[in-house]
A and B are shown apart, each in its own frame.
Chain A
């Protein structure tokens, strides 16, 4: 489940943020997505948040700014959060 989700997320990042020269294989699961990683910025984070909400119905939120930042830190953390949110929604 998580591997499929991680691949979907990578494809979503590439298509929504128009990363023409990047392929799914170029993005490591534990690699930082922003700043030194893929070089994405704060507008990209907002764009990605909207794209994830549209695709999965999951709003990326946390108790603090730091918590939200940590969600965006890598594909691993994004996939974990989305996966848990989807499981919670199913179990309700």
Chain B
């Protein structure tokens, strides 16, 4: 393989991000090829697909992902051989390709999750069988996709312009590079030819662009080193000039990646950072002002409040950077729905609305699985077979609509089918049979969803229950809950079913230590933890109504969380102390048990009636249980105030370290 594997591990996150982008491109290209399966494949789409696979192969090789490298290579070779034939792609070939890209995705996902790679043999065999059938063996060809000119594309309606761009360091410093110029020209029309040439010592780029009727170059471009005139097409008969004809691929729909950020969003962040710098220097000058600090207390308060506001805005701006269009998820759903539709033998049209709705990248990734379930269910259980639909006076082809829309700080995604609807009475019968519903009770609309999403509720063994939605619905409900979202359902017999998922626009996800306190589970954000100690409860010393333990060469004030939250005072013999706070003023939080580290989604507690000092939010643990998230900074503040009120400042005399014995378990930070 490679001797550089470990060295390139430092780029593994870049690798995953770039893979996501290329996989999205490959999926889009395959769907486009399938959509026009009757005609020979469009060269620009093939080129785009080829390049994505090629880059995936190259990068996978670098990070030692042998599975992904092999699969990408096989796909690339298959594409290469099919390109030579220039005939429409056979369905068998396309199917093998879809399977290949799906496998490639699984290889990369396995690497990401640290699991073992899937076995590629079956898919690779299928692929090579499809390719053998597809193409005659031809001698290896030096012509690589990317060189083939696509001149006919320029002869559409409108005008052809010839642009000359002479780059210079001044222009480049102003951001006017050949790439920037190309982007402008792409926005204007279709570039069908680009070539560099030297005019003496000066470099000039020639672009030929076909511009749709009614559009023209912006006169202001003349100031950016661009000259242009209406032009004749360069003769397609003489494309062999050494400086090459260059086929320009169609600009791809914007892919999504953690790394791609609109400049305006970065500008907003920069502005806020600037504000913070100003605030800090103000703070500095206040702290250095002559005389008593109490005299400038008001000004300090004001600055602190300003900084708090700026930090909040900064956080919001950074959140906005993470927003990506939901359209990418929709494309992946189309990809998955394709399989389900083919297997079911039904006719289903997929309709998307609101692809440009933006949503947190973190939410997007976690939404995919539940949406996949809903889409598969709609195809398998919701939409009827063509003959059944015709008999009901519906069109043979069913429609599955996915709709995304943002409202305020929430986003709503609808998955709607025009199928048979859910037969509530049959679900109720099944629920009674499974003991989920008391005999004689009927289901209200609200309870219907609850039953469908109950773990273990299944209609799988009743193949004829066309309205059955039990399959995997508990997974969907759990995933939506985890994301602080809500799932609802509307169904009309004979007309169809609509699932609605409402989610927060952005999410806070953090690593937290789950602990147990007085029988309750709580989460402590991991970054707040300095150290964890385990000690005998008997070594905790009471001191004027406060408790302390020995710590390092001094003492550590501790707060019993069960007492703080009034959960009772019973205490196990052996307890844990989470050391939080600053180096100079640490404090211990006393808990009964440690339950482990978890990645949690933070649900903010906004309701003032529910808000409790020391609680920063809540999180859903996936099994339906809710756990409070401690806000250690607020907790410290409150605990300190209580301490002061009780008149017990922490003793300044170091206590004998021998008085109690504590064992450091792990320095967490």
Q: Are A and B co-members of a single complex?
A: no
B residues whose Cβ falls under 8 Å from a Cβ of A: none
